[in-house]
Structure 1
Amino acid sequence: MGTVTTEPAATDSPPRPPRPAARRRRRLSRLYGPLLAFLITSGAFCAAWVLRGTFPFGNTGRAVNDQANQYVPFHRALWDLVHGQAAGDVLFTWRGGFGQQFLSDYYTYLGNPFSWLAVIVPRAHVDLAVFAITPITMGTAAAVMTVYLGKLKPGPWWQRGVLGATYGLCGWALSDASYIPMWLWGLVALPLLGIAVEWCLEGRRWPGVAALVALAWFGNFYTAMMATMAACVLLAIRLITRDMTGAQRLRALWRASTATGTGILLTLPLLLPSFLSSGSAQPTQAGAFDPVRIEIFLTGMLPATYLWGGRPRLYVASLGLILAGAFVLNSGIAKKTRLVWAAATVLVVASFQFPPTQYVWHGLAVPNGNPYREAFVFSGMVVIVAWLSLANRPRPLHLALVAALLVAATFVLRHTNDFGGWTWPAVLGGGAVSLLALVLLFHGDKHRHLIPLAAVLMIGVVFAESTVAAAGADSRRARERWAQPAVTSSKSITEHFNAVRGVDGWPAYRTDSGAPQSSYNDALALRAEGPQYYSSYLPEVTYQALEPLGYGFKNDGRTFFGADNPVLDAIFSIGARVEPGPAKNSWTARRFPAPPLVTVRPGPYTSPNPADSVYARQENVLGATVYQVPPVTRGTAAAEQTYAAQCSPGSEAFWFSPAVYGSLRVGDGPEQALQDRMTGVLRLGPVPASGRLDITVRTATQGATAGEHPVGCLAPAKLDAAVSALKATGATHVTTGGHTIEATLPKDAKGTAVIATTAVPGWQCSTPTADFHGLLALPLTPGTDKISCTFTPKGLKAGLAGGTLGLMLLIGVSLTAVRRRRRA
């Protein structure tokens, strides 16, 4: 008997596509996990602010270290730039360092896309926007990690959201980068690039991969480089563990490499100038990498642990640690997958302790600060392994065994230096609640009512444990001298800003914001044009120009301070200065004559004063003798040194002792602080009628003295004459653009036109330039009555060409893909 084949009835119709409402619900449900991760992460971090009573939830200062000195001032400069109130543009700023490049600073300090939040609030609240960048970026990183985990292994949205939050709240984010908005973008970049890896393996979305790479690198190249290296590790793992043919693996590698190269090409207009600026920056004295002891390194993996100084913070919440430990025991995962992921994670964390690989992680450079800046990569891998474990239903026995091992490890490491005060509560309390939640989840298939309870426990334990970890890190870090929180908004700062604006005369003259400073970048923060500047890109030529003249500095010359010295004011066209007023929180401003930004010097000038004195160097740049540099006699005491000098009565005495740290007193007058190179030239006051200066210096610097010529006495009348001469022969009109300067000179001007800015690389002028004691100068030919200069960062043109090439590749591949889909 034959087989009967039945055909579908002619009236049968194909399955109906999902209704629009159903599609919308599905799309909306995809947001639940990322939204949960964002809320847990940002909520826990803000809750820690509340616990600590820090601004804006209390009166304690929020800004830590460079957050006060760099990030808030640079974001205020961004506000000024966007609102058309900046003295400069995105390529150059006339504020700070007497004029410096700005593009590299923008890329390095303002690249985080959320930095643009600072421009939509009133300028007075820019600092609050800067603080908000941290929880928003951390929450975004958690949300993107949640999406990436779903691509590795499907699973319930809330479970992915909880583990995404453990990544956003990892130890590196809470302890190392919570006050560094641009580095935090690396936390986002890692899962972004993980998604890009999955698209390469799937053989689709090449333009999307390039766009994700560009987005990662636009935010911050430093941590993006580390995230890109981590993505290479993830790609290698997936190529080994995924079921693919050899040809498919080669195609995936080709897609990944070409898309990555294109994505980086798109960032070249920012990346290349920053790279070249870094090469010409003032070098620092970074020490060689010295790995911490193994017990300290392992302690950094314990939850809620804060280690002092430049030590690794590798932990995630106890829930993630327990799940990650159970990964290797989970028989629901293929042995090959377990072996490869576990081996890769161990090798990555071991590479942090090995100097050659540590240098690779940091772009072949020695970090100037914490040497474990790539720690978030390990935390990310721990969270990935934890998710793979959770998605494959780990057994309660295995979970309990890992929890016991965590307790044992904590007990063994409890005597480690800096063992955290919140570590035991996190391990015992957080570990116990995590274990209970995971056991309830395991039995949830048979008892569905246990799943909501497990969800509440998992969310609650991650939130609570991370909150106390963040609060503990804030509390312990604040005890370190370098990290004492600073105030970035106050009545004094507001009055200081108003006083600076009240005497603004740019570009006719510069305004110096004066001292005391509220940040190392007060010129940017207060809209002044003084020397105050702090940047990793401060050029070596700027240091070489300002240091010999007596300006104070620190950070190996990458931070410069102001100096209340009339000769320096004349050299750099400073015509107004702001000083503290008689009332509390008040500031006053004073105006005085100043030469124009462009002066004309008839020829070289050599001071008759001792050539090795700071006063002679100032006179050489000014072009006139205005100081009396008397011989100084010194007492024989070491700790309390005495100096005596004789000057003309009525002159103004100044002091310069860059090797001395301590205090100084003239006669019976008040003490003034001496902070070696930070102090710079110091005003002592009028010389008495006797002409004698008796100076006492107390120093804690063993063997340090003030040198041969610490005293210089300024003759005000001679300085006034010099300023008048410079005004008479200088430019009659000066205009400045964003990155340009133009000057009209007197008829028959002869000699050299000197622009009161340092000769930083990138200036192109109407005539060939020359060096004038580190300042930008143009030798004049007969008949020259106008000069102009334009600043273009080195590498910008080549970077634009590379970016254009990357954009053409991206568009070309995208159009080709569209045509193929249409043919199909």
Structure 2
Amino acid sequence: MPPAAETVLDEVDGGEGAGSSRRRPGLRSRGWLVPAVAAPLSAALFTAVLLGLATALSRTYPFGPVTRNVVDLGQQYLPYHAYWRALLLGETYGDAFLNWNSGFGSNFLGDIGTYLSSPFDLLVVAFPADRIELALYVVTAAKISAAGGAAALLLVRLRPGPWPVAAALGTAYALSGWTLNHGATVPMWLDGLLAFPLLCLVAEWARTGRRPLLGPVVVALAWIANFYTAYMATLGAAVFLVVRLLTAEEGAAARRRIAGVLRAARSVLIGIGLAAPLVVVVFLGTKVADPTPVTTFAPAAPTDFLARFLPATAGVTSPALFIGTPALALALTLPFNRAVAPRVRAGWTVAVVLVTLSLQWEPTHLLWHAGASPNGNPYRQTFVLSGLLLIAAWLSVARGVPRPAALLASGALLGALAWAAGGSVEIDDWTFPAFLAAAALTLAAALLARQDVRRRAAGADGNAAGADGNAAGADRNAADAGRNAGRAGPGLPALSALPLLSVLAVVLFVAAQAGETVVTGKRIEEQQRSEVAWSPRTGPWHVSAAREVARADAWPRHRTDPGEVPGGNDVLLVGGQGADYYSSLTAEVTSSTLTSLGFGHYAKGRHPVTLDNPVTDVLFSIGTRMRSEPMEPVRQDARPRAEVTVATTPVPPLVTVRPREARAPRPEDSAFVRQELLLGSSVYELPRDTRRTGRTLTARCPAGSEVWLWAPEYEGSARLAGEGTSAVDFDGRPPAVTAPMQALGTVPASGEVSIDLLPRKAGTKLPRQPVGCLVRARLDTAVRQLTATGATRVSAGGHSVTAELPPGSTGVAVLAAPRISGWRCAAGDAEAAPARAYQGLVAVPLDGRATTVNCFFRPPGLRLGGAVGAAALLALAATAGFHRRRQEFTRSAPADRSAGKVDG
């Protein structure tokens, strides 16, 4: 068919609507099946190959020696997946409700729903424990590849077209700048990347009245996998649905459009309801989580915003908008492509522009992020815009190469964008070379494709003239063509049957897209390693710590703390039970209680870390503690090694008995006082005459006592004056980082304490009572007293604790675990009730008659979520019944009329 005729058809129906559906092959047609299978499979495979190539070129694990554990990937996701593997294989003390390892007991169902509920995360069980980094990379690559396949499938479902181009655009979506810069190091967000094209398919099913049962199931899986990014993907799918309803069917009745919206709403509501048992638990967990400082949104500078469309740019203060110059060039042709119906051009152009502007306006920024501006990356929804841009690119190219006017307009916009972004700080040395190379290849592909269009148009005109002069010859040609078509099969021809120029054009387009993507991935990996925090790969240090923990573990008789291991969330990596815990759901009571006792933290309180202090070891029943001495500096390109030593000391049991309630802490109380209040004994000598003169602290303490410095906001080093003492580092950077209290040495015989401070910046603040001197004899007495009156036997289940107490115990039984929401306890045969708090820990009042205490943990929201889930399941069953009856009525009605005619 000549191009002019193709243009007329496209302008009549826009490639959509009733006219298009009449020509579109059915689902069972081989013509539909070829692109529907080839495009997503090719996109998924192509995505995996390019991701691996970018990883290899940056010398990053698993294709190189350099760690890829930047920021939260090493501190959060790697440890969580290690623990998830152990839990699935039955190798942990906790269960799906409670994590006994972290934060002295944490709500694990909330963490599952936040970090681990994606079906892809189950892949970790296929890898040995010492290959958890490889397992996480495979999970990440699988999610990204699946997103590419889903995007390609969405494109070929929207409009028939060349499936190799659809596969390339699907890969462009999966390996957008958002994925390479953010998603690849925050694996839970990748579930939203996959969810967006799937939810757009659900919207399309709702618009056409198809798959009423599969739609809610897809929504449920998306929200279960990661409800945070699924929320953003759902908003994006709503934009998609609105545009489709307004552009797909010209003149469609308002009733049909409203019906499509209602069907979509039904799918979303039922799907979210099915996910409610997990979503409600996570939602309520965020309500009691340690609050992060309020963040005020600041839009990115225009030049930086535009620069992020270009390759090899990275950062968190501007949106990662890169989708590849070839794909962006096609998207920019849509407003000028007269081969596409005006309503389609206008609808998608307006949608893309409005979503782009929404990234920079605070009210819509808050809408995208469910009403709360996030800490860190403020452009987490950018993957939705990437998907909309690639849909626009596909709609412009699916029916043929855009005309020269559209290509010229697109090229002019690209040039203007690059020129305007030239002064941005986001520009990398590789940005413009990669951009210009990709643009040149794209231009060559467009010229080849247009040349092929002109050649085929000329051939069609010649054939038409020949047909007028020689009908018989035309008939023979038609017959030959029919035989050839029969051999090739219906639908798109095989790639080998395409004209050579078209093949070359596709190859150049794909090469430009692939090359620019690989360069971008390589550079982003390298930039992140040089500019942000990183953790080393797991190695012999972790293996040694895990081996020693397994050998010494005595839970629940007492805890075993692995101490500091590189990477954070140490107990999830190597085992044991400690304070280390990094989660968006870290309870405020956990963070505030531990910080008040002298523990340090990162991530503005949501990452408490271990404290090597004998008093807190007693408070939390840490009987065995590991200490590690690195054998060499920790490096990005080496696996860390250390010598791990084990120290065991007597501590009270996990459940102790206090004769009475301690007084409430006062705001001015130091961490030393708060430790003593929780312990119930005075074990520190707190100097009253501590003086600071310049960079020196002086005080008096009992000879032989241990000097401890509590300086949570101090950044620098401190050392006890005298020969043979070494400096101790403090890293306080409020509000993000709080330094733990640390021991400086032993008080000399003179009782004079002199501490030299070496701050790294001026104006260092110290608390009112920074020095405490621990008298070991007092602490030993307190341990003996708590052990004598404490539980005689403690047993622990996956989310429960039972303690046997000495007869006649009165006062308060205290479980050495933070009193997070969800704990319920009972003394003796009494009915379980919400646990009380004792200085932030779980407590149960005793009346002298009970000899046992039973506590169990149930994640808040589990019952409510279960009820909502059950209601959604009933709604899904009702939908299935209604749909089945409607199908039976539709099938039986014509048969009845036909039977009547025969009988008559």
TM normalised by structure 1 equals 0.93
Report if the CA contact (8 A) 1:610-1:629 is conserved: no
CA distance in 1, matches of 2:505, 2:367: 42
Residues 138-175 of structure 1: per-residue CA shift (max 9 Å, x gap): 11111001111111111122121111111111111111
Who is 1:647 aligned against?
A: 701
Query: Given residue 296 of structure 2, which amino acid in structure 1 is its aligned partner?
Result: A
CA distance in 2, matches of 1:240, 1:25: 28
Q: Superposed, which structure 2 residues align to 1:51-62 within 5 Å?
A: 51-62=57-68
CA gap 1:151/1:582 in 2 versus in 1, 3 angstroms: closer
CA distance in 2, matches of 1:91, 1:154: 48
Q: Superposed, which structure 2 residues align to 1:149-160 within 5 Å?
A: 149-160=155-166
Who is 1:19 aligned against?
A: none
Who is 2:256 aligned against?
A: 248
Asked whether 1:553 is paired with 2:601, we answer yes
Shift of 1:802: 0.6
CA gap 1:47/1:632 in 2 versus in 1, 3 angstroms: farther
Asked whether 1:135 is paired with 2:141, we answer yes
1:794 is matched with which residue: 845, 852, 860? 860
CA distance in 1, matches of 2:752, 2:415: 72
Query: Given residue 385 of structure 1, which amino acid in structure 2 is its aligned partner?
Result: A
Report if the CA contact (8 A) 2:290-2:591 is conserved: yes
Asked whether 1:186 is paired with 2:235, we answer no
CA distance in 2, matches of 1:700, 1:249: 64
Report if the CA contact (8 A) 1:407-1:428 is conserved: no
Shift of 1:181: 0.7
Who is 1:310 aligned against?
A: 317
Asked whether 1:320 is paired with 2:320, we answer no
CA distance in 1, matches of 2:366, 2:767: 40
1:697 is matched with which residue: 739, 753, 757? 757
SS at match of 1:222: helix
CA distance in 1, matches of 2:525, 2:752: 52
Residues 281-308 of structure 1: per-residue CA shift (max 9 Å, x gap): 1111132001112222122222x14143
Who is 2:823 aligned against?
A: 763
Shift of 1:664: 0.3
Who is 2:396 aligned against?
A: 389
1:125 is matched with which residue: 119, 127, 131? 131
Report if the CA contact (8 A) 1:731-1:744 is conserved: yes
Residues 160-197 of structure 1: per-residue CA shift (max 9 Å, x gap): 11111111111111112211111011111110011111
Q: Superposed, which structure 2 residues align to 1:518-597 within 5 Å?
A: 518-581=566-629, 585-597=642-654
Asked whether 1:282 is paired with 2:338, we answer no
Residues 182-217 of structure 1: per-residue CA shift (max 9 Å, x gap): 101111111001111111111111111111111211
Report if the CA contact (8 A) 1:563-1:681 is conserved: yes
CA distance in 2, matches of 1:709, 1:355: 43
Who is 2:687 aligned against?
A: 630
Query: Given residue 417 of structure 2, which amino acid in structure 1 is its aligned partner?
Result: A
2:48 is matched with which residue: 23, 27, 42? 42
SS at match of 2:213: helix
CA gap 1:611/1:236 in 2 versus in 1, 3 angstroms: closer
Query: Given residue 567 of structure 1, which amino acid in structure 2 is its aligned partner?
Result: V
CA distance in 2, matches of 1:405, 1:247: 39
Residues 638-691 of structure 1: per-residue CA shift (max 9 Å, x gap): xxx111222222222211112321110111421110122632121122322333
CA distance in 2, matches of 1:63, 1:464: 25
CA gap 1:705/1:123 in 2 versus in 1, 3 angstroms: same
Report if the CA contact (8 A) 1:119-1:126 is conserved: no
Structure 1 residues 115-124 or 451-460, which shifts more? 451-460
1:337 is matched with which residue: 344, 355, 377? 344
SS at match of 1:685: strand
Who is 2:271 aligned against?
A: 263
Asked whether 1:347 is paired with 2:354, we answer yes
Query: Given residue 660 of structure 1, which amino acid in structure 2 is its aligned partner?
Result: Y
Report if the CA contact (8 A) 1:299-1:305 is conserved: no
1:459 is matched with which residue: 490, 496, 510? 510
Shift of 1:343: 0.8
2:669 is matched with which residue: 608, 612, 618? 612
Report if the CA contact (8 A) 1:660-1:701 is conserved: no
Query: Given residue 214 of structure 1, which amino acid in structure 2 is its aligned partner?
Result: A
1:711 is matched with which residue: 741, 750, 771? 771
Asked whether 1:216 is paired with 2:222, we answer yes
Report if the CA contact (8 A) 2:336-2:409 is conserved: no
TM normalised by structure 2 equals 0.85
1:225 is matched with which residue: 220, 226, 231? 231
Who is 1:674 aligned against?
A: 730
Who is 1:472 aligned against?
A: 523
Who is 1:659 aligned against?
A: 713
CA gap 1:309/1:199 in 2 versus in 1, 3 angstroms: closer
Shift of 1:279: 0.8
Two-structure CA RMSD over aligned residues (Å): 2.1
Residues 71-93 of structure 1: per-residue CA shift (max 9 Å, x gap): 01111110111111112111111
Who is 2:205 aligned against?
A: 199
CA gap 1:622/1:145 in 2 versus in 1, 3 angstroms: same
CA distance in 2, matches of 1:240, 1:24: 30
Query: Given residue 658 of structure 1, which amino acid in structure 2 is its aligned partner?
Result: P
Who is 2:845 aligned against?
A: 779
CA distance in 2, matches of 1:582, 1:361: 45
2:540 is matched with which residue: 460, 483, 491? 491
Residues 226-251 of structure 1: per-residue CA shift (max 9 Å, x gap): 11011111111011112122221121
Q: Which runs of 5+ in 2 are unaligned?
A: 1-27, 457-498, 632-640, 828-832, 892-904
Identity of aligned residues (%): 37
SS at match of 1:645: strand
SS at match of 1:735: strand
Shift of 1:701: 4.2
Who is 1:417 aligned against?
A: 425
The number of residue pairs the alignment matches comes to 796
Report if the CA contact (8 A) 2:181-2:315 is conserved: no
